[in-house]
């Protein structure tokens, strides 16, 4: 072999060696990135993929159980809210023609199912009377006055039956 062939072979070998070195450095950098990603998945920095996956599955199972527990808690709270007496309406009026100031009133206090109470206070010159009537499903077993029906209709969002009667 002559000197020019040996030089060409040496240059080719150096190029191949440099190319192999560049590829090796690139592979090392990629491996370091993968290790960083694994370390981010697991708190103690270990890079055992099977252990990391098992840890993540355990965390997911715990979160699923927690979400289920919270869902049940929210459903219970929603039921409590439906049963709370939170729908209130008051109708003020003059019970007697000779009195002014609309001192008499009827107040309906019911839950979302229409269960609750209607309170009425009738004011006259010499006395005041108060009445309470139970409400179940938006109805009373005791006849309601037009003012009480109006208050109940406002509290439940149902149509006022006194308007149909007139």
Whole-number Å distance between alpha carbons of 150 and 164: 12
Whole-number Å distance between alpha carbons of 166 and 154: 18
User: 129-158, pLDDT tens digit by residue?
Assistant: 999 999 999 999 999 999 999 999 999 886
Give the predicted TM-score (pTM) of the model: 0.54
Alpha-carbon 15 to chain mean position: 64
| Torsion sign (Cα): 26, 28, 30, 33 | negative
User: 2-42, pLDDT tens digit by residue?
Assistant: 888 888 889 999 999 999 999 999 999 999 888 777 776 66
pLDDT value at residue 164:
45
> Over pLDDT 90: what percentage of the chain?
55
Strand pairing report for 87-93 and 128-135: unpaired
Could you tell me the pLDDT band of residue 166, with boundaries at 50, 70 and 90? very low
């Amino acid at each position: 072999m002559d000197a020019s062939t040996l030089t060409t072979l040496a240059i080719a070998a150096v190029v191949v060696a440099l190319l192999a070195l560049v590829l090796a450095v690139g592979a090392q950098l990629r491996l370091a990135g993968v290790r960083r990603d694994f370390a981010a998945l697991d708190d103690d920095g270990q890079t055992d993929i099977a252990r990391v996956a098992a840890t993540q599955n355990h965390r997911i199972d715990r979160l699923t159980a927690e979400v289920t527990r919270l869902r049940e808690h929210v459903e219970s709270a929603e039921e409590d809210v439906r049963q709370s007496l939170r729908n209130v309406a008051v109708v003020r009026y003059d019970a007697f023609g000779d009195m002014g100031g609309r001192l008499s009133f009827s107040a309906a206090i019911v839950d979302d199912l229409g269960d609750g109470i209607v309170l009425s206070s009738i004011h006259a010159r010499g006395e005041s009377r108060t009445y309470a009537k139970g409400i179940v499903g938006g109805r009373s077993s005791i006849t309601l006055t037009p003012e009480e029906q109006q208050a109940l209709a406002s509290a439940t969002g149902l149509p006022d039956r006194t308007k149909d009667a007139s």
